[in-house]
Amino acid sequence: MNPLAALYGGVVRVRNALYDRGALSVRRLQGPVVSIGNLAVGGSGKTPFLIALGELLKQRGIAFDVLSRGYGRASRGVRLVDPEGSPRAFGDEPLLIARKLRAPVIVGEDRFKAGALAEQRFGPRLHLLDDGFQHRLLARDFDIVLITATDARDGLLPAGRLREPLSSLARADAIVLTNDTPLDGLPLHNQQVWRVTRGIEPPAVTERCVGFCGIARPQNFFTELSVAGVTLSDTKAFADHHAYTKADIRRLQRLRDRAAAAAFVTTEKDETNLGPLAAELSPLYIVPVRLELHAPGEMIDAILARIAQHHTRPA
């Protein structure tokens, strides 16, 4: 093992052991908390899954909010996300979640304080904790961890992309396997195992396009576009959560001209980060993520059953 990865793994194990033994305290909100997280750095589909789970809760008439760190924002402290606001103020993924779900989204470095503000404003209700598996300071009633095929064979940071070893799955209540991720090699401990199929909604585009994005695994997006029949003259990958500038727009326009393309294609997350600059890339096709949950009713039933052990059913 890489020496730095071994050192990092040791720190992670000590931290988790301190929480497991109660040496590090946790804080509990009045309402139940359902965490959606993963083991790797980015790219596992947490945001689409959280949105899909939120839609299921809305169908059941269950009030909820979303608690998020607000990664990449320039602001500090606890803030209620304005769906008409900017990613600079709230972070791109919390803003996308707020726009898609039309439910309260609260960002804050301290997720307990974010939840406390939510309960002060909206009353105790179910809290969806975004990217919460490693945020052990906040007690949760149900822990969901998404795993991809890449995660199952990856290594710890900094040599790999894993924030925790696979053995940490022992504290999860449910493991979500995306697409064809195999069970083989995963240390399961009687957790629920759910499957989801992730893809894209192919855009109705016949022109030659420049594909671009600022996400964790850009090549996956470009491959999905090609498989969907989109003709890509060229592609451009930016860093995850990239905040677009006018210089980026000029760079993309030059790329389009050199590649003899007629249009651009990107993700919903990038549309959020483009903001008003998106108008300068017309025609621009936005590609949503399509997430199919296998047996979604069973997922919600399992979550609510576990919550019922600690709380009354959320209103």
CB 32, CB 314: distance < 8 Å: yes
How many other CB atoms sit within 10 Å of the CB of residue 93? 26
63 three-class SS: coil
Structure tokens at 26: 């946790």
Overall fold of domain 202-287: Rossmann fold (3.40.50)
- CATH architecture label of 24-198+292-308: 3-Layer(aba) Sandwich (3.40)
Q: What is the pLDDT of residue 214?
A: 96
Q: What is the pLDDT along the chain (315 residues), one digit of tens a residue?
A: 688 888 888 999 999 999 999 999 999 999 999 999 999 987 788 999 999 999 999 999 999 999 999 988 999 999 999 999 999 999 999 999 999 999 999 999 999 999 999 999 999 999 999 999 999 999 999 999 999 988 888 999 998 999 999 999 999 999 999 988 988 888 888 899 999 999 999 888 999 999 999 999 999 999 999 999 999 999 999 999 999 999 999 999 999 999 999 999 999 999 999 999 999 999 999 999 989 999 999 999 999 999 998 765 544
Give the H or E element holding residue 113: helix 111-122
Pair of tokens at residue 119: 């309960």
What is the structure's pLDDT at 16?
Answer: 92
Q: Which tens digit of pLDDT belongs to each residue from 207-257?
A: 999 999 999 999 999 999 999 999 999 999 999 999 999 999 999 999 999
Q: What is the pLDDT, as a whole number, of residue 302?
A: 96
For helices 92-101 and 46-59, the axis angle rounded to 10 degrees is 20
Confidence (pLDDT) at 184: 84
* Residue 13 CA: distances (Å) to CA of 4, 19, 152: 14, 10, 19
Q: How far apart are CA 262 and CA 285, in angstroms?
A: 11
Q: Do domains 24-198+292-308 and 202-287 have the same CATH topology?
A: yes
Predicted local distance difference test score (pLDDT) of residue 312: 58
